[in-house]
Structure 1
Amino acid sequence: MTFCEIPTDADSYVLLVESFLKKNEPADARTALDSMKEQGHLPSPTFFCSVSLIEKGMKENMDLVYKILEALLMRDHIEEALGGINLMTMNDCIPDIYHLLVVLCDNDNITEAQKLADFTLEERQR
């Protein structure tokens, strides 16, 4: 896009990075993420962390990822959390949705739990 002098936007880069990760091309995803930053588009901290963890194959340290997801959901950053869950799922890291729902309900975050449950049900129907 920059070679052809086409204006760039952050959403295009996010889609590009996610598609590279979906094709199991973490090096290309990292290159696109770096290009995104060079063009002045800052990825959200969650997106950056998710790409970094998946790129490094850190599937065994999922407790850290769950803590990030919990924090996002508890602070009503639903879209970022769902994006992280979607990214995990695309990379064969199936999140423990039940655990996240229990944490949300135990902390009286019922609206967030409902949104997570709806998202999960919609994804299963695809």
Structure 2
Amino acid sequence: MLTILSGFALHLYRVIFGDELTLQYAVTPKTDVLLMIPMTYAAITGILTYRRMVFANRVHQVALTASLVYITASVPLHFYVAFVMQDVSVYVHMFGVWFSWLLICLVYPAFLFMLWRVRYQDGAK
């Protein structure tokens, strides 16, 4: 959840302060690498614990799976941008401000709600 909340904060910063200030103060090469740490952890632990997750219903399973795919797919993108391209402004140029609005108003709240509701079955047999 911390990973999603961190992304939420960065996208909210962009919506409030605009692209220029976001690139100057919030979305920097350092923050990109720092964000990759919890993203990688969330992706790995999500994949490893997926079979133990107990879902409330099919919609819950689909939404939680989508959040896991989103985070897992984001790791190589952030790695590529941080270490190969070495230019975090690509995020702003690739995804318009509409993308930030979509994430903070719909996607991230749905992911947070679904992650909050997930339960785990006992792995001991």
TM over 0.5: no
**How does the TM-score come out when normalised to structure 1?**
0.31
More helix by share: 2
TM-score (ref. length: structure 2)? 0.31
Which protein has greater RCO, CA pairs closer than 8 Å, 6+ apart?
Answer: 2
